[in-house]
Structure formats: C-alpha cells, structure tokens
Amino acid sequence: MEWNQTVNEDIPLSDNIKVVVRCRPLDQKEKTMGLKEAVTVDEIRGTITVNKLDMPQEPPKKFTFDTVFGPDSKQLEVYNLTARPIVESVLGGYNGTIFAYGQTGTGKTFTMEGVRAVPELLGIIPNSFAHIFGHIAKAKGPSRAGNEREGPSQGSVSPSREKTIKICFLVL
C-alpha cells in the first residue's frame, strides 16, 4: 500500500506513533480533601497546561500531544478517536499496538478496561474485542465447501486464506 492509502475511505493509514493523553477528573476523596485540578485541557489545540497551584507565581507549563481528552471525555469517544483506527489497520493486515503508560492512579485501567457491567463505560480492550469479533462475524458467510475456513477480512476472502490476530494484555 502507498503511504496515503486507507483501510477504508474513512480511516487513513499511518505508520506514525500517536501520543494521546486523557486527564481524569478528581475523585471523591480528592474533592473531599479540597484538592483542585492542576491541569487545563484544550482538546481543540491538543494541549495540556499544568499549573503549579502551590506556586502561582510560577508560569504554567504547556505540553502538546496528537490528541488530548479532558475529564469529561467518554469511553466511546476515546475508543473511536484513538483505538478504532488501529483496530481497523489490524483488520486490514497491519500490526498495531496500544500502549497505556502513566503514574499509578491516573486512570489507565479505567480507560483500558472500563466497567464491564455498564456498556457506556466499557474501555478500549472490550470495545476492541467487540469490534474485532463483530468484523469476523460479518466476514464469515455460509461455508462454500466442507473444510474451508474464513478469518477476519476486509471484504471477501478466498476460501483457502486464513488470518490470525494475536492479542496480548500485560499489566505491570
């Protein structure tokens, strides 16, 4: 494929690493302690400004990322803008990695796993699985011959073609 081609007309392919930041809201314990939010998120410009609340004379520090999500962001919004293009590329035969990194208590587990009992709170992992297995279910048609197997695909698959998707999840 050429550099600017797409898996489908909606999702451009890219070999670039994207850095995405999601800032979580203060939890109840932090609010009870009277803590204030020290970051300002500008989702349009892709910036996060860190204010030193204990040293207001210090200038704030501004950081720019490919995409940023504020405390009010929704799980599906995060999935659709960050993980969905990677999953689509994987379904098109490319390698893809989603790497969550951050300090303890910053919301990685919530973003990646979510709350399984509440559909709108599902994280990137269960949404990715639903996307992949939904794609497989759509790609599988009635068997054309007794021993033929079909795997996930973009469009039709020759009966002798099979694809493997390997998914790894590691928490350190």
Among 30, 134, 115, 122, smallest CA distance to 77 is for 122
**54: domain CATH number?**
3.40.850.10
Quote the pTM value.
0.74
Amino acid at 146: G
Question: Beta strands of the chain (E only): which ranges?
Answer: 6-8, 11-12, 20-22, 39-42, 47-50, 61-64, 67-69
Residue 151: inside a domain: no
Total count of domains within the chain: 1
Tokens 């200038």 found at: 59
Residue 4: inside a domain: no
| Binding residue numbers for ATP | 102-109
Residue 49: inside a domain: yes
pLDDT tens profile 38-75: 999 999 999 999 999 888 899 999 999 999 999 999 99
Domain that holds residue 114: 18-136+165-171
| Close Cβ partners of 144 (under 8 Å, ≥ 6 residues apart) | 159
Residue 9: inside a domain: no
Work out the end-to-end distance of the chain between its first and last CA atoms, rounded to an integer number of angstroms. Answer: 36
Residue 36: inside a domain: yes
Residue 35: inside a domain: yes
What's the mean per-residue pLDDT of the chain? 82
Residue 89: inside a domain: yes
| Binding residue numbers | 102-109
Residue 157: inside a domain: no
pLDDT tens profile 75-131: 999 999 999 999 999 888 888 899 999 899 889 999 999 999 999 999 999 999 999
Dihedral of CA atoms 152, 111, 95, 103 in degrees, nearest 10, equals -160
